Structure 1
Amino acid sequence: MITVNPLEVEGMFFTAITVELPKTNLLMISNDIGYIMCAALDVDIFNEIPKLMERKVIAGRAVGVRTIEELLNAPLEKITDASKSYGWEVGMTGRDALVNIS
């Protein structure tokens, strides 16, 4: 099942997406600037492949989360290089990262 809902974070609106997969969930929260997600996907690819680096994707990843609420409160374990221009740092919460792109 795929669930898409609006999500308000400190007065700013995002889109929360949950994809239920066998034995795990794919979780993402995004706006028109960037997104955070669970570790079911990889952000390293945007820092390693020159063609993809040119896109300057703003993305961060948290590990061990199972719900959108957990994703908001978890520390980001990896971020793209481009996200640093928005003040993102490894270890900041997903919520704080989203506030920086709102």
Structure 2
Amino acid sequence: MIHTEPIWIEDQAFTFVHVELPKTNLLVIYNDFGYIMCGALDVDLLNDKLADRNIVAGRAVGVRNRDELLYAPLQKVTNYAVEKFGWYEGIIGKHALLALTK
């Protein structure tokens, strides 16, 4: 099953996507500029093979729902997210998303 819903973080609009898969879940929160995601995200692939796309993304591990994703530290972020929006490993998901709106 796939569930999507709009969410608001300090008056900024984002979309939450929850995909129920066998034995795991896929969680994503995004806007037009970038996204954070559960541990299924391959940041190395984005940095190495897709670097020319300038993808803004970060991965949090061990999260099981929207709130955990919002408040977990990002374990890995893309190089472009660092350059463009000042993300860093350990930034809280909510803070990373809010940086996309400035």
Same fold (TM over 0.5): yes
The residue number in structure 2 matching 1:24 is 24
SS at structure 2 position matched to 1:26: strand
The residue number in structure 2 matching 1:39 is 39
Q: Distance in 1 between matches of 2:48 and 2:11?
A: 34
Gaps of 5+ in 1: none
Q: Distance in 1 between matches of 2:57 and 2:67?
A: 18
Q: Deviations over 1:54-90 (max 9, x none)?
A: 1000000000000011000000000000001201010
Q: Which amino acid aligns with 1:61?
A: R
The residue number in structure 2 matching 1:89 is 88
Q: Which amino acid aligns with 2:88?
A: E
Q: Distance in 1 between matches of 2:54 and 2:36?
A: 15
Q: Distance in 2 between matches of 1:55 and 1:19?
A: 24
Q: Distance in 2 between matches of 1:100 and 1:43?
A: 19
Q: CA RMSD in A?
A: 0.7
- Amino-acid identity (%): 53
1:3-18 correspondence to structure 2 within 5 Å: 3-18=3-18
Q: Distance in 2 between matches of 1:44 and 1:27?
A: 18
Aligned residues: 100
Gaps of 5+ in 2: none
Q: Deviations over 1:30-62 (max 9, x none)?
A: 00000000012211111112xx11100000000
Q: Distance in 2 between matches of 1:27 and 1:17?
A: 6
With structure 1 as the length reference, what TM-score do the two structures score?
0.95
Alpha-carbon shift at residue 98 of structure 1 (Å): 0.3
